Amino acid sequence: MSDIIKLLPDHVANQIAAGEVVQRPASIVKELMENAIDAKATKIELIIRDAGKNLIQVVDNGIGMSDTDARLAFERHATSKIQSTEDIFRISTKGFRGEALASIAAVAQVELKTKTKEAKTGTNIYIEGGGFQFQEPIQTAEGSNFLVKNLFYNVPARRKFLKNNNVEFRHIIDEFQRVALAHEDLDFELFHNDEIVFRLRKASLLQRIVEIFGRKLHALLVPIKEDLGWVKLNGFVAKPEGAKKVRGEQFFFVNGRYFRSAYFNKAVQEAFDGLLLPGYIPTFFLFLELDPEKVDVNIHPQKTEVKFEDENLIFALVRSTIKKSLGIYNVAPSLDFEKDTSMDAFVMQKNTGGMFRAPEITVDRDYNPFLVEKTSAGEKNALTEIYQQTVTAAPSKINLFEDEDFDEDLMRLPNGYWLFNKGGKTLMLDLGRMHRLIIADRNKRKSSAIERHTLLFSLEYHMNETEKMKYRSIKKYLPELGFEMVLANDNVLRIDAVPEGLKETQVMKFMEQLFDILEYRTEEEFMEFYQQKWNKIQSKSRFDFLYKTDAELVIKDFTALGFPEYLPSGKRCYIELPLEELKNKF
């Protein structure tokens, strides 16, 4: 049998390694920005074209590289960050992959212009598809200028799996924001297709958060700070009003490095127990500092997951510190340890001659609840009148079995569901979900655009840069959806008209949700999700159906739809009750 094992050529090995390092354009953004920070840059400029598919350029004013270092940087397993295995367990820098630049160069056309402070001239290197093309002296500014062009041009199978530009650029913004949040003492700029998206100047952490996520978040932020010596925790959490149903504004950092942790997310969620509605996720920006030897940042290829030596203690620290801060800022109830108790004793004293007296309660010690007293006719009439008023005020609480005209085929339950006999089966109906499908069908059959309602006074929605970018991506759809709005100045959206049926009090919350559902979605997916959202706003909840006549109308319209069992989201509109199982319980 002939030998079948062969060594892979370098360019093939590099392309395979690139699969781990370069998943999408955002992966390159992360590597190059972290390298710029490690190079002691104070200003970093990120320039993007076509969501990074055609150009990713990172310009920094760091220490730059010599001619030799610039050439070696593109070799596999070449790095200035670690020298031994032990160094991996005490890493304090950002990028330390020995194969990062080699992997990037293997799947793109890469040019590097760099110069050190001491050198009279810089160097220019060009590598294409992993193959070195040339290196020559050049006049260039101090620092480094990386240009990555035509990503995956030589791996078309990988390129076709990239998402559309809106989605890929959203991932780039994520990486940009994570780096910018962790380094508020640096200047950052982001351009996309020659338009400025972010221009961030050196600032405090609070200013940096507001610059990125918008000024409406400013009033909601609660500072978090605790120092236990071996670990420090600081940052901000938003009050419950800043919570959302979608993830996005949840950030954990350790020693300046962003990481994800479902475990620590749970600690934050528990700190908000009793303060959030079900399904809502708190907004937070939390920074941990501790000995690098107590953190393993090398357990995930993208370095987004880390392992802590004392994670249970850190979990308790995060939860308790947030709880304490929410209490201090009167977001959550807390014990008042500084209350002056001297007045309590003064009020409770029994000196009848004093100004204050403790309240007295008179108790009938001869009362026996088991003795039935006779009630006069007048008292009976008064009780009857009170009962009738209570029943009239709360029709949903009426005992349906006392209604002489009650049909046993349809009955409302106290929890808002209805019981309905259909074809020998007993169904429990969610009329709210059924109504949503009816509304969706009506909207689908409408041929004209949604009617709009002109507001008496225009509303202003203050956007952050990310929301502004999203607004531009859906701007063309807004008139047919019933909106009339214009970008009044840099970050203020003036709303002059809204869809008929959308209350003015709902507009601001609806706009927030509108931008939320744009996360990582194509424009076509947005239209589908928008329609679902709009159908939900127009439809009633199951608690709105109090009367049998209303229920009968919904059931009639729902039957015309074919009595579908599920919403598009997969939620049930009704369930069949297992009557045989229920009978066995008697």
Q: What is the pLDDT of residues 464-511, one digit of tens each?
A: 887 887 888 778 888 878 889 998 877 889 999 988 878 888 888 888
Give the domain range for residue 184. 10-200
Positive or negative, the Cα torsion across 386, 392, 396, 399? positive
Say whether both 248 and 168 belong to one domain: no
pLDDT at 185: 96
Domain identity same for 426 and 575: yes
Residues 211 and 180 in one domain: no
Q: Quick one: tokens of 582?
A: 């229920």
Closest CA to 554 of 574, 581, 575, 531: 574
Last residue of a domain, one of 200, 224, 246: 200
Of the residues 268, 295, 328, which one is the last residue of a structural domain?
328
Lookup: tokens for 268:
């934050």
Give the end of a domain, one of 328, 355, 373: 328
> Residue 486 is part of a domain; what is its CATH number?
3.30.1370.100
Q: Could you tell me if 110 and 212 lie in one domain? A: no
Q: Is the residue at 488 inside a domain?
A: yes
**Residue 560 main-chain phi, psi, to 5 deg:** -65, -25
Q: Determine whether 497 is exposed, middle or buried from the number of CB atoms within 10 Å of its CB (0-12, 13-18, 19+).
A: middle
Beta strands in 151-255 (DSSP E): 187-192, 195-200, 221-227, 231-238, 250-254
For residues 194 and 253, membership in a common domain is answered with: no
Instruction: Note whether residue 388 is domain-resident.
Output: no
The pTM for the full model equals 0.69
282 and 180, same domain (yes or no)? no
Reduced to 3 states, what is the DSSP secondary structure of residue 334? coil
User: Do 221 and 196 share a domain, yes or no?
Assistant: no
| Alpha carbons 35 and 584: distance in angstroms, whole number | 69
Instruction: Report if residue 42 sits inside a domain.
Output: yes
Question: Exposure pattern of 552-562 as b/e (b: 16+ CB <10 Å)?
Answer: eebbebbeeee
- Domain with 143 in it: what CATH number? 3.30.565.10
Determine, yes or no, domain membership for 45: yes
**Number of domains forming the structure of the chain:** 3
pLDDT per residue rounded down to tens, the chain (586 residues): 577 777 777 767 766 766 667 889 999 999 999 999 999 999 999 999 999 999 999 999 999 999 999 999 998 765 655 455 554 545 555 554 456 898 899 999 999 999 999 999 999 999 999 899 999 999 999 999 999 999 999 999 889 989 988 889 989 999 999 999 999 999 999 999 998 999 999 999 999 999 999 888 899 999 999 999 999 999 999 999 988 887 778 999 999 999 999 999 999 999 999 898 888 899 999 999 999 999 887 656 566 778 899 999 999 999 999 999 999 988 755 444 344 333 333 333 434 444 444 445 555 555 554 444 444 444 444 434 433 443 344 333 333 333 334 358 888 888 889 999 887 788 999 998 999 999 888 877 765 567 788 988 899 888 888 788 788 877 888 887 888 999 887 788 999 998 887 888 888 888 887 777 666 566 677 777 777 777 777 788 888 888 888 899 999 999 999 999 998 888 999 999 888 777 787 8
